[in-house]
Chains A and B, each alone.
Chain A
Amino acid sequence: MVMGATVSKLEKALGEQFPEGERYFGLENFGNTCYCNSVLQALYFCIPFREQLLEYYSNNKNVGEAEENLLTCLADLFNQINSSKKKTGVIAPKRFVQRVKKQNELFRSYMHQDAHEFLNFLLNELAEILEKEGNDVKDSPGPSSQTEMNVNGTVHLQDNGPKKEPLLTWIHKSFQGILTNETKCLRCETVTARDETFLDLSIDIEQNSSITSCLKNFSSTETLNAEDKFFCDKCCSLQEAQKRMKIKKPPSILVIHLKRFKYIEQLGRYKKLSYRVVFPLELKLSNTVENADSEYSLFAVVVHVGSGPNHGHYISLVKSHNHWLFFDDENVEMMDESNVQTFFGSAQEYSSNTDHGYILFYENLDGRN
């Protein structure tokens, strides 16, 4: 590292405003691992996630030679950054990346990988490890919040059976939301609701639209007819029906994945959609069952750079202590908030601008005050 004893450019730029206790570290790239680096930066600046992970680290560091897993590797990495004497610098997430490759052959090659797939894999993996550990230790703080999210009887709920709820880990508490899939039989008008959990929302995008509008489309009513009829339990037959997805429980960290990589049948391959999709720095969800007015604030964006799905680069934009930062592997720079808009996409195809917001991280502000 060339940093030496000199103060980094970033430190100079921030000067007195450098947030106390905060660390801004670039991550070394081991050959196409930018998909991993960009996601890690976003997660590091997801404060509830970081705090939990650091807490996990300090609770487990004296447990002795516990078996290494993805969770311990990530906790080590976060701790390494957090406890660094220097405020800025570069860290090689070598052990973590090795662990990822060991665990999942998908990420083993040196090919360009999908950052969203990686995020999904990582969160699920971490949750699984925590669940396992939680089942071992019975006296962990129970999932008390689970009972509070009851439905207020407006929709007829399908009986989900006496299935034992899985342990709600801190991964779930941060990222998990519940979607409810309402299907209304057009004959007997019975509404059947089926709940499913999600850690992120993958949404279809349209040219010159906003995230607000894409989320609305995500929840828009769809008619099931012709080949695609719905089996109504009450009518005991296939019926025409209307279906819509609503958000029953909005997550505390809302991760939105823009489906920029679309399979084009005529081409027989995936194509990147460079559509201009604006995302506001603050957001409310219109498609919720309740709590419609709860507000989210954007704190990180994973950006895909490049014109195709099989190559390119990932970087991330992160908001930390009211400053925006730009993370490009080893490189960390300050960024003006107004530059976020240069990552919206292109209003027309074949534009020279190929840096497009791909995964958005919003945090719920309601818990704060």
Chain B
Amino acid sequence: MASPSSSMNPPSPGLKTYFKTPEGRYKLQYEKTHPAGLLHYSHGKSVSQLTIAHLEEKQASQGPSAPSPPSSSSVVKSAAARLFVGVNGSKTFSHGGTNGGSKLASGTNKFGGTFGASTGSSSSPAVANYDVKGAYLVFNAGDTLFISDLNSQDKDPIKAIHFSGSNPLCHAFDSEAKDGHDLLIGLQSGDIYTVSLRQQLHDLGKRLVGAQHYNKDGAINNSRCSCVAWVPDGNGIFIVAHADGNLYVYEKNKDGAADPSFPVIKDPTQVTVAHARSSKSNPIIRWHICQGSINSMSFSADGVYLATVGRDGYLRVFEYSKEKLFCGGKSYYGALLCCAWSPDGKYILIGGEDDLVQIWSMEDRKIVAWGEGHNSWVSGVAFDSYWLAPSSDGSGEYSMYRFGSVGQDTQLLLWDLEIDEIAVTARYHPHGGSPTYSRGSTSAHWESVPPVGTLQPPPSMRDVPKLSPLAVHRVHVEPLSGLIFTKESIVTICRDGHIKIWARPRADDDNSDANSEAGGIVAAHASKDGRHAAAAPSARANGSGFKQQTASAFARN
């Protein structure tokens, strides 16, 4: 996959290949990109998103589960489905690259390839003979879904899957998938596919193979898919959010030919959940959540709560299986673009068009702090679940969190959140000790925990403690669209689908860093031994920095 042109990847002047944090340097390890010539998409329309997929060494014994998807005759009508007519079992089983001529054309389908056939159980045992175990980056750019090897130096993707007619926009991987289908893909047209990632890696063609197709041609909802997710421990249940504020629940491998006939939405401002009348229907449930797009959603790690954010600026947290709104609130202003849970499910990060990273507390059911530091919209947020709080005593209780955010300002920011500080400031000094703030409704912010099932108005600027980032780094030339923390690194992606992998600081090169790279605040803190160095002194420094921030926030006139 030779790059026909380098015009899309100009050398990036002024972009450093490392950045410093209290615990040491993060260094640019790998860059991933895609062939520029493939992009003929309309500017700005499609934004690259990133999914990391870990493929385990798969045992040959796949459960006999996974009902073969019924291939209904209605399928062939669909333009998008025509793509897959050429897909047939034989390709999937052919080993060792013998299927070099994998140009898929509908005419060559000797086996009368049933659309979406050979999914799941039938194909995986054969597939499993290949060693494709490893970590993969799945990302979309234009009309193509790319797959790259996370741990190789190779810049180019190992696989490109073209979609004709519509662009893939969002995707999700289910590492717990019981059968072969673990990759979920949502398109601009509203169409949705599930496939086996393994199977795509074995196939040499440029089309999706062995796919199951849902919401064909947008028959149920033709607005853009904005976000897709597998329901944790859901046995193949997945949800798809659309740009029109609706979210659908699907069952994997269930044929969706039946007309789901959901009732008309009477009041688009209200949340309504409707179950399909027919048991044959797929999707099985429709949630109407908001007016305008649902921009992002995320399940808490235990799968109990589902958080959504959208164009209307609201974060909504639902008790997923109860289908009930639990809590939520409005951004400071503008749409919200991203959200992420803390590993322990106590906090949610939200970011959006107010340039803020806000921290929502599930216990307080309100915003407890916000981070100021981005110079443009915040497009991605994530907690670093691998980062060990320096002060953590092993009790399992977090008192400090590390998180990251990326924005359209092309910057990656890292933050520390120390809970005690916030709690003290917020609960015991609701007015910042200053009588000038006691007017109006603003002070009500801290007085009580709002009742379950209600949405909070935007926080007032003077009520919310402010955080400052501990690291600010310009990582790409283009606006960023996402970040993921892995055990070894931070992975960032920009709008155009360029990826950078930032290796975490290593304990053994901290000393040299501190000594060689002219002092500064960071070097001063980064003492002796790697991770622990971040512990007492520097973390305190951060904490106290935050305290000052908080204080000044309240003292501000």
Contacts and interface: CB of A to CB of B under 8 A. Distances in A.
Contacts of B478: 347-348
A208 B479 contact: yes
A300 B495 CA distance: 26
A209 B479 contact: no
B313 A282 contact: yes
Contact of A293 (B377, B408, B461): B461
B491 to A, nearest CB: 20
Interface stretch (B62-70, B277-285, B331-339): B331-339
B453 interface: no
A293 B459 CA distance: 9
Contacts of B292: 337
A208 B376 contact: yes
Contacts of B10: 348
A280 B408 contact: no
A216 B477 CA distance: 23
B44 A280 contact: no
A293 B479 contact: no
B353 A278 contact: yes
Interface residues of B, number: 32
Interface in B406-422: 408-410
A190 interface: no
B243 interface: yes
B353 A286 contact: no
A29 interface: no
| Residue with the highest number of chain A CB atoms closer than 10 Å, among B353, B376, B478 | B376
Nearest to A206: B375
A283 interface: yes
B23 interface: no
Interface in A271-311: 276, 278, 280-284, 286, 292-293, 295
B355 interface: yes
A352 B43 contact: yes
A338 interface: yes
Which of A283, A284, A341, A347 is packed against the most chain B CB atoms within 10 Å? A347
B222 to A, nearest CB: 13
Contacts of B410: 208, 347
A210 interface: yes
B460 interface: yes
A213 B460 CA distance: 19
Nearest to B378: A210
Contacts of A295: 333, 458
Interface string B465-484: 00000000000011100000
Nearest to A341: B44
B376 A278 contact: yes
Contacts of A337: 292
B44 A342 contact: yes
A353 interface: yes
The 8 closest A-B pairs by CB, nearest first: A280-B334, A280-B353, A213-B375, A210-B376, A282-B333, A284-B333, A282-B334, A209-B375
Given A208-B408, A338-B293, 14 more contacts: A210-B408, A212-B376, A213-B375, A213-B376, A278-B376, A278-B377, A280-B333, A281-B353, A282-B334, A284-B461, A292-B460, A347-B478, A347-B495, A353-B44
Interface of B: 10, 43-45, 243, 292-293, 313, 332-335, 353-355, 374-377, 408-410, 442, 458, 460-462, 477-479, 495, 557
